[in-house]
Amino acid sequence: MPQELVPRQAPTVVQRSRRSRDLQRLEHRTSMRVASVQAEGMVQTEKLQEVDVLTREAMTGHAMLRRWSDTLAAGDPFLADELKFFTDTARLGKGEIIADTIDSFCRESRR
Protein backbone atom coordinates (compact mmCIF):
# COMPACT_ATOMS: atom_id res chain seq x y z
CA MET A 1 0.00 0.00 0.00
CA PRO A 2 1.40 3.49 -0.80
CA GLN A 3 2.51 5.45 2.21
CA GLU A 4 0.00 8.25 1.57
CA LEU A 5 -2.91 5.85 1.92
CA VAL A 6 -1.79 4.38 5.25
CA PRO A 7 -3.84 6.00 8.01
CA ARG A 8 -1.78 7.94 10.51
CA GLN A 9 -1.99 6.87 14.06
CA ALA A 10 -2.52 9.44 16.77
CA PRO A 11 0.59 10.05 18.85
CA THR A 12 0.75 8.03 21.99
CA VAL A 13 0.88 9.58 25.44
CA VAL A 14 4.61 8.82 25.59
CA GLN A 15 5.21 10.53 22.23
CA ARG A 16 3.20 13.60 23.27
CA SER A 17 5.08 13.76 26.56
CA ARG A 18 8.44 13.49 24.76
CA ARG A 19 7.45 16.25 22.30
CA SER A 20 6.32 18.44 25.17
CA ARG A 21 9.66 17.96 26.98
CA ASP A 22 11.58 18.64 23.75
CA LEU A 23 9.62 21.84 23.19
CA GLN A 24 10.19 22.94 26.78
CA ARG A 25 13.94 22.31 26.42
CA LEU A 26 14.00 24.25 23.16
CA GLU A 27 12.09 27.12 24.73
CA HIS A 28 14.46 27.17 27.70
CA ARG A 29 17.58 27.15 25.48
CA THR A 30 16.11 29.93 23.34
CA SER A 31 15.31 32.04 26.39
CA MET A 32 18.82 31.51 27.74
CA ARG A 33 20.42 32.51 24.43
CA VAL A 34 18.27 35.66 24.21
CA ALA A 35 19.15 36.58 27.81
CA SER A 36 22.84 36.02 27.06
CA VAL A 37 22.73 38.28 24.00
CA GLN A 38 20.90 40.98 25.94
CA ALA A 39 23.37 40.74 28.82
CA GLU A 40 26.33 41.05 26.44
CA GLY A 41 24.75 44.13 24.87
CA MET A 42 24.34 45.70 28.31
CA VAL A 43 27.97 44.97 29.18
CA GLN A 44 29.21 46.44 25.89
CA THR A 45 27.14 49.59 26.48
CA GLU A 46 28.74 49.98 29.91
CA LYS A 47 32.19 49.54 28.38
CA LEU A 48 31.49 52.27 25.83
CA GLN A 49 30.27 54.62 28.53
CA GLU A 50 33.34 53.92 30.65
CA VAL A 51 35.65 54.71 27.73
CA ASP A 52 33.77 58.01 27.31
CA VAL A 53 34.19 58.81 31.01
CA LEU A 54 37.93 58.04 30.89
CA THR A 55 38.40 60.10 27.74
CA ARG A 56 36.46 63.05 29.13
CA GLU A 57 38.53 62.91 32.34
CA ALA A 58 41.78 62.73 30.38
CA MET A 59 40.82 65.66 28.15
CA THR A 60 39.70 67.78 31.11
CA GLY A 61 42.86 66.97 33.03
CA HIS A 62 45.02 67.78 30.04
CA ALA A 63 43.29 71.11 29.45
CA MET A 64 43.86 72.01 33.12
CA LEU A 65 47.53 71.00 32.94
CA ARG A 66 48.00 72.99 29.75
CA ARG A 67 46.44 76.07 31.34
CA TRP A 68 48.55 75.62 34.47
CA SER A 69 51.66 75.26 32.31
CA ASP A 70 50.83 78.55 30.56
CA THR A 71 50.32 80.21 33.95
CA LEU A 72 53.64 78.94 35.28
CA ALA A 73 55.53 79.94 32.15
CA ALA A 74 54.09 83.48 32.40
CA GLY A 75 54.99 84.22 28.79
CA ASP A 76 58.58 82.90 29.02
CA PRO A 77 59.04 80.82 25.82
CA PHE A 78 61.97 78.84 27.23
CA LEU A 79 60.10 77.84 30.36
CA ALA A 80 56.98 77.07 28.29
CA ASP A 81 59.07 74.71 26.14
CA GLU A 82 60.43 72.93 29.21
CA LEU A 83 56.98 72.59 30.77
CA LYS A 84 55.64 71.19 27.49
CA PHE A 85 57.67 68.05 28.20
CA PHE A 86 55.56 67.36 31.30
CA THR A 87 52.21 68.05 29.66
CA ASP A 88 53.17 65.90 26.67
CA THR A 89 54.26 63.06 28.97
CA ALA A 90 50.99 63.27 30.89
CA ARG A 91 49.02 63.33 27.63
CA LEU A 92 50.81 60.23 26.34
CA GLY A 93 50.36 58.42 29.65
CA LYS A 94 46.65 59.14 29.71
CA GLY A 95 46.35 57.97 26.12
CA GLU A 96 48.08 54.70 27.02
CA ILE A 97 45.77 54.16 29.99
CA ILE A 98 42.73 54.64 27.77
CA ALA A 99 44.22 52.33 25.12
CA ASP A 100 45.00 49.67 27.77
CA THR A 101 41.45 49.89 29.09
CA ILE A 102 40.00 49.48 25.61
CA ASP A 103 42.36 46.57 24.93
CA SER A 104 41.34 44.80 28.15
CA PHE A 105 37.66 45.33 27.32
CA CYS A 106 38.21 43.84 23.85
CA ARG A 107 40.17 40.86 25.20
CA GLU A 108 37.40 40.17 27.71
CA SER A 109 34.82 40.17 24.91
CA ARG A 110 36.79 37.61 22.87
CA ARG A 111 36.88 35.06 25.71
Is residue 1 pLDDT above 60, yes or no? Answer: no
Give the start-to-end residue ranges of the domains of the chain.
13-110
Q: Measure the CA angle with vertex 33, ends 23 and 30; round to 5°.
A: 15
pLDDT band at 3 (very low <50, low <70, confident <90, very high): low
**pLDDT score at 74:** 95
pLDDT band at 6 (very low <50, low <70, confident <90, very high): low
- Residue 21 to residues 7, 11, 13, 26, Cα–Cα distance (Å): 26, 15, 12, 9
107 vs 111, more confident? 107
